[in-house]
Structure 1
Amino acid sequence: MERHYGLDWLRIGAFALLIFYHIGMVFVPWGFHVKTAQPMDWVAIPMMAANTWRLLLLFVVSGYASRALLAKGSGFGAFMRSRSARLLIPLAFGMIVIVPTQPWIDLSTQHGYGAGFWTFFTHDYFGFRAIDGIALPTWQHLWFVAYLWLYTMILALGGMLLGRNSLQAAFDRLFGGAWLWILPTIWLIIVSAWLFPGGRETHALFGDWVAHASYFPAFLFGFAFAGSRGGFVAVARWWRWAAASAVIAYAIAVAIEWAWPVDVPTPYPYGLIFSVARAVQGWATIIALIGIADRYWNRDAPWRATLTEAVFPFYIIHQTVIVGVEWLLRPYGLSPFAEFVILVATTIAGCWAFYLIGREIGWLRPLIGLRRRGPVHPPAIATLAAAEA
């Protein structure tokens, strides 16, 4: 496989967007672990521009990265061992050390939990039971790592049974031309409008069929797309049309959301139209972004290697910083704008501090998702595969 810097930048951008999206969750009326004193309905409109595709994109680029890692490795067995270490160790560390602050703040501010953090951590967090509907212990935002590990293991086991390239030709035939855009869109419409109408993701791994039906195919798509020259040709031809379709579909979804906001029931057939529009918007945006990355971003830059390595540590710590800082800000009654500015500044600073300190400490590196061995600072030739997340 040839190195593709554009997909590096796309992955970096996807994780950066995720951080800003979770900051936005503080202000939107939707449920979150900590909320501003006065959530604003209008924040849902810009949030809707990203929430149909942001996670799909993460699984697509993770599938792409998995293909690159497998191509440079020594077989499926070694691939499974490497991925398990790189994903499960940070997941366990995150659940034990990074995450617990979040459910404690959630319970304290929104569920009437009265005990302090230390009591919560030592007596309740590892109780393997639910408190007011919140299952403990929890992985919170790190559910993505657990799902990625599961999909990776299924992929590797399938590869061991079928061979590395046995299905690549079928992918190239099935997803040639515009079908690369059309077929996944049809599947996402089926998932959202027919199989699971009104369904919500649980991120509990077992029984979360809404999420698995969307994200596992996206992961497999990214894996197969990485080896498909015809796929890149198709994206280059159709991404502009996909971008226009994404904008139109977003406008339709926004119009319906504006007419029936948040908890107001949406009458038939507008609820169905809303689901279809969001599915169309989601995959069309994926195709458009891959096309933009391939056309304009496929070039190296001094900061790319560092950012490629940093995104996984950023992901591990960012939501705990957001939730913790907003909890500290709540008693001061600041304006939403002031809270937003402080959250952005402190989250970026906290993520950089977590990464810059962690990468210099050998035993801490694998706990925050970095390689144990090798240079502390990523080499200039680092690729999408270097982050392995």
Structure 2
Amino acid sequence: MTGGRHYGMDWLRIGAFALLILYHIGMFFVPWGWHVKIAEPLEWAEFPMLATNGWRLPLLFLVSGYASAALFAKLGGSGAFARSRSARLLIPLLFGVLVIIPPQPWVELVTQHGYAQSLGAFWIGDYFRFGTLDGIVLPTWQHLWFVAYLWVYTMLAVAVLAWVPAVVRGRIADGAARLLSGAGLLIVPLLWWLLVLAASDGHAPTHALLDDGPAHLHYLMPFCIGWLLRVRQRLFASVARWWRAALLVAIGAYGIVAAILWLWQQGVYPPDWARLPFDVARLVQGWAAIVALVGIADRYANRDHPKRAMLAEAVFPFYIIHQTIIVVVGWVLLGAGTAALPAFLILVAATGTGCWLFYAIGRSIGWLRPLIGLQRR
């Protein structure tokens, strides 16, 4: 483990979570299925959503892998690392499932399934049924699936750190760094994703942990590369060399994704093979965009700012609460018949304000801090 703090990776993590919040606001407007939808979804909104769809989640796992490796270096032992990660991830996950999440399935049931019970009656009577209600599994972790997956990947890292000798781990890291040096940084991870796509047989992510094998293979790779970037920082030299080319590849691949989407929207349904080019182009765009974003963060954002530490701390509480705010405010806007543009502006303002209040209040109350993912004072 070498090198000091990489501020660019901090800013990339902050930006990735901010983008996630905007993406979930966008889910209110696109025709895709979600917990609450505007009365008349906007087909054109699919284009900016697909511009980020292929890389936003893998980027989160990559920056989380990098941050996990940095924390392990700070704590200096697999036991302390496991205890720290479990407390910071599992306590907010449980709090979220019990307290933060319930309004989301209630709004979905009310708006899409004709559910007539109040939120309180649902919370007490139906939410903890440990079964399904109109096809919705209850209780649920909804968007907090990411926290559960991250904890599992972190515990896999703990097992490797605890059981594999340091000499062997070093040789594996050196070999992986050599494999990813130069153009390998672009080619090898993409080949892995293509192999996962070929083997997945049309599997759609479930976010249910135990039946989500292809998704785990998809997300584990960027988590491991994020960890490797921290322990073998010479890989940033490969990033610096190739990120501009990766940016061009990402733009070109997105052009293919957008063109196929446009044909689908126009009713010009391509032959069956069009699904495969769409999926492949989306994977190419996704990994190339991640390399480009890491390169941009390394080149232009590797510097501190007085607000960086506060923003880096705030992103996890923001993540925990943001989707519940979006769903509840979206439900109110749907009932009021609010048009798309004012609805978008209201959602952005309400979500930003609500997230900030949740963080500001939670960080100032000692017993609340662990519940929203912050360290005890």
Range of TM-score over shorter length: over 0.9
| C-alpha contact 1:30 1:262 (8 A) present in aligned 2 | no
Equivalent of residue 165 in structure 2, options 153, 163, 166: 163
Aligned to 2:313, which of 309, 313, 319?
309
Partner of 2:146: 144
Equivalent AA in structure 2 for residue 24 of structure 1:
G
Residue 210 of structure 1 deviates from its aligned partner by 2.6
Partners of 1:198 and 1:53 in 2: how far apart?
19
Give the AA of the match of 1:87.
L
Q: Which residue of 2 aligns with 1:386?
A: none
Partner of 1:376: none
CA distance in structure 1 between the aligned counterparts of 2:11 and 2:268, rounded to whole angstroms: 39
Which position in structure 2 is the counterpart of 1:232? Answer: 236
Structure 1: where are the runs of 5+ without partners?
374-389
Summarize deviations over 1:252-281 as a string: whole Å, max 9, x none.
010001101399965232211111100100
Alignment of 1:273-292 (within 5 A): 273-292=277-296
Query: Deviations for 1:221-279, whole angstroms, at most 9, x for unmatched residues?
Result: 11112112331110000000000000000000100011013999652322111111001
Work out the number of aligned pairs and report it: 372
Residue 191 (structure 1) aligned with residue 196 (structure 2): yes
Report if aligned partners of 1:191, 1:197 keep a CA contact under 8 Å in 2: no
Partner in structure 2 of residue 383 of structure 1: none
Equivalent residues of 2:240, 2:295 under 8 A apart: yes
Q: Is the 8 A contact 1:52 1:282 kept in 2?
A: yes
Aligned residue number for residue 180 of structure 1 = 185
Instruction: Please name the residue that 1:58 is paired with.
Output: 60
Secondary structure of 1:130's aligned partner:
strand
Counterpart Cα distance in 2 of 1:107 and 1:268: 34
Partner of 2:304: 300
Which of 366, 372, 375 is 1:368 aligned to? 372
Q: Structure 1 residue 163: deviation in Å?
A: 3.2
In the TM superposition, what whole-angstrom CA distance separates every residue of 1:73-101 from its partner, at most 9, and x where no partner exists?
13101111110011000000000010000
2:322 and 2:44 map into 1 onto residues whose CA distance is 24
Q: Does residue 113 of structure 2 align to residue 108 of structure 1?
A: no
Would you say the 8 A contact 1:189–1:275 is kept in 2?
A: no
Cα distance between partner residues in 1 of 2:320 and 2:30? 22
Q: How many Å apart are 1:158 and its aligned residue?
A: 1.4
| Aligned-pair identity (%) | 58
> For residue 98 of structure 1, what is the aligned residue in structure 2?
100
Among 48, 51, 66, the residue aligned to 1:49 = 51
Q: 1:199 Cα shift? A: 2.5
The residue identity in structure 2 corresponding to 1:317 is I
Alpha-carbon contact 1:99-1:140 (below 8 Å) kept: yes
| Deviates most, 91-100 or 221-230 | 221-230
Does residue 346 of the first structure (1) align with residue 347 of the second (2)? no
Per the alignment, do residues 259 and 197 of structure 1 end up closer, same or farther by CA in structure 2, a change over 3 Å counting? farther
Q: CA deviation at 1:142?
A: 0.3
Match of 2:42 in 1: 40
2:10: which partner in 1? 8
What is the CA–CA distance in structure 2 between the aligned matches of 1:264 and 1:156, rounded to whole Å? Answer: 50
Distance 1:261 1:368 in 2: 41
Structure 1 residue 4: deviation in Å? 0.4
CA distance in 2, matches of 1:155, 1:102: 32
What secondary structure does 1:364 align onto? helix
Question: Which range moves more in the overlay, 63-72 or 258-267?
Answer: 258-267
Contact 1:188 1:214 in 2 (8 A): yes
Deviation at 1:309, TM superposition (A): 0.4
The structural deviation recorded for 1:17 is 0.3
160-169 or 144-153: which moved more? 160-169
Corresponding residue number in structure 2 for 1:154: 156
| RMSD (Å) for aligned C-alpha atoms | 1.4
1:133-186 deviation digits (Å, cap 9, x = unpaired)? 110000000000000000000111012111344321111121111101111011
Structure 2 residue 343 is the aligned partner of structure 1 residue 332: no
**Does the CA contact (< 8 Å) of 1:59 and 1:215 recur in 2?**
yes
Q: Go from structure 1 to structure 2 and tell me whether the alpha carbon gap of 1:43 and 1:356 turns closer, same or farther (over 3 Å shift).
A: same
Match of 1:211 in 2: 215
Residue pair 2:85, 2:151 contacting (<8 A) in 1 also: yes
Q: Give 2:133's match in structure 1, choosing from 131, 134, 142.
A: 131
Partner deviation per Cα, 1:320-347 (whole Å, 9 max, x = no partner): 0000001111122111101000000000
SS at match of 1:199: coil
- 2:263–2:269 Cα contact (<8 Å) kept: no
Query: Cα distance 1:265–1:199, how it changes in 2: closer, same or farther (>3 A)?
Result: farther
